[in-house]
Structure 1
Amino acid sequence: MTATSGKLVKGATGDWEVVIGLEVHAQVTSNAKLFSGASTEFGGEPNSHVSLVDAAMPGMLPVINAQCVKQAVRTGLGLNAQINLRSVFDRKNYFYADSPQGYQISQYKSPIVGEGEVTVELEGGKSATIGIERLHLEQDAGKLLHDQSPTMSFVDLNRSGVALMEIVSKPDIRDAEQAKAYVTKVRSILRYLGTCDGDMEKGNLRADVNVSVRKPGGPLGTRCEIKNMNSITFIGQAIEYEARRQIEIIEDGGAIDQETRLFDPNKGETRSMRSKEEAHDYRYFPDPDLLPLEFTDAYVAEIKASLPELPDQKNAR
């Protein structure tokens, strides 16, 4: 699959091509969390929607929520993607104060959904087909509150264990307009399917944006990841700033550090957050408490038959 060419960025040494990949994190529409029966309702008192499983109390074991699995399969079908009849949950190990387990249950080598594609409409009657690399299920982390005390941070675990679908695109996106169109389209598909409400203000849909630059048609450059974008407008602004920043560094004889960055909407710029980890840093291994997910073709066919009319089908009609 080839990416549609986007707008080239003019630099001091000629034109540059921007290469963008997106990881969209969509909260699954479900009354209960991925591995516990605790409520997913937004806006409760801190730590009021927390089960013993979410708090990682000793001896507590996760139990898979079948509704979340079904929602992930529906989403995969809506993205014209391959549904894997066997998938595995893995532990992604890292310490973070709002993750009481000390690891995240996610999927690595065997995700629930494989390759798919989304076609987006662009200005001037053009369109672009963006490849989907995978969709996997994982649990969300809690939330740190830094504004409650001058000396301490507080932890709210209401969101801990809520089911997320991480939809990973291929690096097929070539400019900010294509990126914005892609997120808009994915959000629309999720809403039609009823698998995520797409509410970006509440953080129910957010995106990590990977940006690199290269001479047109050249080898891929070193990418930087901009974390937790919850506005389509800001995604566009962040890409344009980050591409310009990288071009200026390279043209001045510098090198791009692979790192995670944050976007400051007030200043319209990205800033460094931390060096970027690689997959091996997380020491993934199959979760010993969860059996592999196994589907039948009949199960997938039944879900497919129940899908509503999606945006492209409605347009065609």
Structure 2
Amino acid sequence: MPSAAALSPDILAKYEPVIGLEVHVQLLTETKIFCGCANKFGSGPNTNVCPVCLGLPGSLPVLNQKAVEFATKASLAINCTVNPRSIFARKNYFYPDLPKGYQISQYDKPIAEHGWIEVPTAQGGTKRIGITRLHMEEDAGKSLHDGLPDSAKFTSLDLNRCGTPLCEIVSEPDIRTPEEAFEYLTRLKEILLYTGVSDCNMEEGSLRCDANVSVRPRGQEKFGTKAEVKNVNSFRFVREALQYEIERQVEVLESGGRVLQETRLWNANEGRTYSMRSKEQAHDYRYFPEPDLPPLILSAEFLAARQQEFPELPEARRARMIAEYDLNEKDARTLTASREFADRFEAAAKTAKNPRRVANLLLSEIGGRLNALGLDQESSPVSMAGIVLAADLLDAGSISSKQLKGLLDIAFEKGEDFPAVYEREKPQQISDTSALEAMIDQVIAENPKQVEAYRAGKKTLAGFFVGQIMKASKGQANPALLNELVTKKLEG
């Protein structure tokens, strides 16, 4: 059987994968989409339920306006056209955690269509991935499978999730590699987090992805038979599942077999997919308009209000920060990975003399220590104000980079902010020219052979002299001034 390793060049030379992604995003509303029950993760089983989300006879749905606002913002953020008129439909299927026997969704007239997201390519450019539609729907409940000591099996139902507002975002089959799928999901999650419509927490099920994948011989226009891969709970596993499934389908075709249209489950422990059931067609769900909900009409004023609430999105913010703070692409991407992190950096950068130095310290000195300790930025003992002070001291030549490292070591060791550590330790940098020249003269006098070699052309020995003087000054010599004076003395 194939493994979930990177696709071999032979496969990619002969076959072309075709991938489309369906992403379900739970909206961050306080209540559910059609009732007043709390939209809250982690409550006791079956505690956030009512006759509406349980589908009891006589109960009627009432659409949550905040869910519509969030769905509209998400649609605009991924460049979709928002339809002024959309219709809810009943999607009929039987499953134990769907108490009504149908799901209220949207089908042929969704709230938004025809969007796109741009993703980076391996060649250094960008590729536009089309988005077919974004539609609203309610979530189903959750089936919990457990085993008893005598190995008898049973299933428990937690219906708290029934009626949670969802957006389903369906991509065009424009994705050609597992890496492109990974980048698409990364960009989509980033955009949704910036808009604030969802927390996109995959561990809690706030963002779930199903992948449709087929393969076809290179040059063939007709799509191959697709399989839908479910039960994938991280972007990394989406990539691995796609790699495995592409190789599996190629093996089937190469052996003269036929790929079946089916739903398959991803097993992360084994690194493979398993057949679950034959894949339904749309007509199997017997869609028809939801009789208890009128058409959803969005006014021009409603859409304008959503536009006014719109934040600066990640790509636009990156481009502006590169220009405004003289950042490189990599640093700008890291700083804008989350809206909160970017906000904190920009608030600090506006008070600093050199914003780029603030970025360097934040990502290298602070980020490196946090990574080594397995901590996130919110857990750092050094505040943004402390990073600004450190950057300003470096810029002014008041401390050296070596002294700064020592101060930061103390800050992390004692769990103190940088200003407190600096005020207590107060390292002084020697910037007095005569004092430095005296030390240089002494080191030159003690190392005549090195002086001779330097003057014979071995210019790298300047570093030897700088190191000796740094050692003599206990790291307090001003590095820039020291380098200048050493070169002048040796050349003279």
Bin for the TM-score computed over the shorter chain: over 0.9
Match of 1:311 among 303, 310, 314: 314
SS in 1 for 2:31: coil
- The residue identity in structure 2 corresponding to 1:255 is R
1:161-180 equivalence runs, <5 A: 161-180=163-182
User: Does residue 1:300 correspond to 2:303, yes or no?
Assistant: yes
Match of 1:240 among 234, 243, 258: 243
Separation in 1, partners of 2:313, 2:47: 36
Structure 2 counterpart of 1:81 = 80
Q: Measure how far apart 1:126 and its partner are.
A: 2.3
Structure 2 counterpart of 1:37 = 36
| Cα-to-partner distance string for 1:30-61 (whole Å, 9 max, x where unaligned) | 01011011011110000011111111111000
SS in 2 for 1:153: strand
| Cα-to-partner distance string for 1:205-226 (whole Å, 9 max, x where unaligned) | 0100000001123121000000
Q: Measure how far apart 1:146 and its partner are.
A: 1.5
Structure 2 counterpart of 1:4 = none
Q: For the structure 1 residues 114 and 75, does the alpha-carbon distance in structure 2 shift closer, same or farther, using more than 3 Å as the test?
A: same
SS in 2 for 1:221: coil
| Cα-to-partner distance string for 1:253-295 (whole Å, 9 max, x where unaligned) | 1111000001001111011000000000000000000000001
Q: Measure how far apart 1:298 and its partner are.
A: 2.1
- The residue identity in structure 1 corresponding to 2:143 is L
Higher strand share: 1
Q: Measure how far apart 1:230 and its partner are.
A: 1.6
User: Does residue 1:104 correspond to 2:103, yes or no?
Assistant: yes
Separation in 2, partners of 1:139, 1:13: 39
Structure 1 counterpart of 2:91 = 92
Separation in 1, partners of 2:9, 2:285: 38
Separation in 2, partners of 1:53, 1:201: 27
Separation in 1, partners of 2:91, 2:249: 30
Task: Check conservation: 1:87, 1:110, Cα contact below 8 A.
Answer: yes
Q: Which has the larger radius of gyration?
A: 2
Separation in 1, partners of 2:12, 2:169: 35
Q: Measure how far apart 1:8 and its partner are.
A: 7.8
| Cα-to-partner distance string for 1:64-118 (whole Å, 9 max, x where unaligned) | 0000011000000000110000000000000000000000000000000111000
Task: Check conservation: 1:30, 1:67, Cα contact below 8 A.
Answer: yes
- Once the two structures are overlaid, the 10-residue window that deviates more, 116-125 or 158-167, is 116-125
Separation in 2, partners of 1:37, 1:217: 53
Q: Measure how far apart 1:228 and its partner are.
A: 3.5
Identity over aligned pairs, percent: 49
1:135-284 equivalence runs, <5 A: 135-147=134-146, 149=148, 150-218=152-220, 219-284=222-287
Q: For the structure 1 residues 63 and 15, does the alpha-carbon distance in structure 2 shift closer, same or farther, using more than 3 Å as the test?
A: same
Alignment gaps of 5+ in structure 2 = 1-5, 321-492
Q: Which runs of 4+ in 1 moved over 4 A?
A: 7-14
Separation in 2, partners of 1:148, 1:272: 22
Task: Check conservation: 1:208, 1:226, Cα contact below 8 A.
Answer: yes
Higher helix share: 2
Q: For the structure 1 residues 84 and 228, does the alpha-carbon distance in structure 2 shift closer, same or farther, using more than 3 Å as the test?
A: farther
Count of residues in correspondence between the two structures: 311
Structure 1 vs Structure 2 CA RMSD: 1.5
- The residue identity in structure 2 corresponding to 1:246 is Q
Q: Measure how far apart 1:13 and its partner are.
A: 11
Q: For the structure 1 residues 273 and 127, does the alpha-carbon distance in structure 2 shift closer, same or farther, using more than 3 Å as the test?
A: same
SS in 2 for 1:147: strand
Separation in 1, partners of 2:49, 2:17: 42
Separation in 2, partners of 1:316, 1:304: 21
Larger relative contact order, structure 1 or 2 (CA cutoff 8 Å, min sep 6):
1
- The residue identity in structure 2 corresponding to 1:158 is N
- The residue identity in structure 2 corresponding to 1:231 is S
| Cα-to-partner distance string for 1:234-262 (whole Å, 9 max, x where unaligned) | 00000000000000100111111000001
Separation in 2, partners of 1:217, 1:116: 27
Task: Check conservation: 1:193, 1:308, Cα contact below 8 A.
Answer: yes
Separation in 2, partners of 1:203, 1:50: 18
